[in-house]
Amino acid sequence: MTRQSDNQWLVRRMTDDDIDQVLAWRNHEAVRSYMHTQHEIKRAEHTRWFEQACADPRRDLLIFESQGVALGYVNFHQTAQGRTADWGFYAAPEAPKGTGRNMGQAALHYGFTELNLHKVCGQVLAYNERSLRMHRSLGFQQEGVLREQHFDGQSYHDTVCFGLLAAEWQLNT
Ligand SMILES: CC(C)(COP(=O)(O)OP(=O)(O)OC[C@H]1O[C@@H](n2cnc3c(N)ncnc32)[C@H](O)[C@@H]1OP(=O)(O)O)[C@@H](O)C(=O)NCCC(=O)NCCS
């Protein structure tokens, strides 16, 4: 668990008790429309995903809380050798402004200290202005653009790739 005591934020591991809440956030239009898969996820598919993720040592599923209230979900997935992870996240649709940035800071602290990651990578659909800004303000470097990589059923969208090294994160904290 990573706690930032001044602000009463923390990230903790996702448990069975969070399953319904996370599914409701994930299926909300305000979240779904920025994901790479955008269909409505049924409870059975979601439960299967959670069970598989819990059994996979390369995955860490986290809940962000502020003053005891769950306000978002973050995951790290170590896809490459050498403690490099992809991350993904969403804030509760009703969460106050600024939640994304606070959640990102708390999750990166967890990733770089508790998980001892070397690098965190993010992939953002180019129309997702808030996530682009959030990555930049957290210190991520833009590493490339995958042109027209994502097809949403009607049109193609670029995907912007970001990376943040542990050493860069340490300089900013
Ligand atoms: C991305 C997300 C976590 C950001 O959380 P948030 O609480 O909305 O964002 P914040 O209030 O912390 O603001 C983040 C940045 O976006 C900017 N922003 C906020 N609302 C905005 C808007 N409507 N348009 C453009 N920029 C906006 C903020 O100014 C801030 O940028 P800054 O640090 O340069 O000032 C949240 O919007 C979300 O869950 N979106 C849906 C899921 C998603 O996109 N996940 C990420 C996939 S890569």
Q: What is the set of domains in the chain, with CATH numbers?
A: 2-172 (3.40.630.30)
pTM above 0.75, yes or no: yes
Which ligand 1 atom is the nearest neighbour of the CA of 101? 12
Q: Is 131 exposed, middle or buried (CB count within 10 Å of its CB: 0-12, 13-18, 19+)?
A: buried
Specify whether the CB–CB gap between 36 and 150 falls below 8 A: yes
Hey, CA dihedral for 94, 99, 129, 53, is it positive or negative? negative
Which ligand 1 atom is the nearest neighbour of the CA of 92? 39
Q: Is 91 in the pocket of ligand 1 (CB under 6 A)?
A: yes
User: pLDDT at residue 5 above 60?
Assistant: no
Which residues, in sequence order, are CB contacts of 136 under 8 Å at separation 6+?
142
The torsion defined by the Cα of 132, 135, 138 and 143, in degrees rounded to 10, comes to -120
Rounded average pLDDT over 13-27: 97
Two tokens at 86?
Answer: 């992809």
Mind listing the pLDDT tens digit for each residue in 109-128? 999 999 999 999 999 999 99
**Ligand 1 centroid vs 128 CA: distance in angstroms?**
8
Question: Which pLDDT belongs to residue 173?
Answer: 80
Question: Which pLDDT belongs to residue 86?
Answer: 98
CA atoms within 13 A on the CB side of 135: 26
Q: Which of the listed residues 11, 94, 130 should we mutate to test ligand 1's pocket, taking the one with most ligand atoms within 8 A of CB?
A: 130
Mind listing the pLDDT tens digit for each residue in 134-173? 999 999 999 999 999 999 999 999 999 999 999 999 998 8
Mean predicted lDDT score pLDDT of the chain: 95
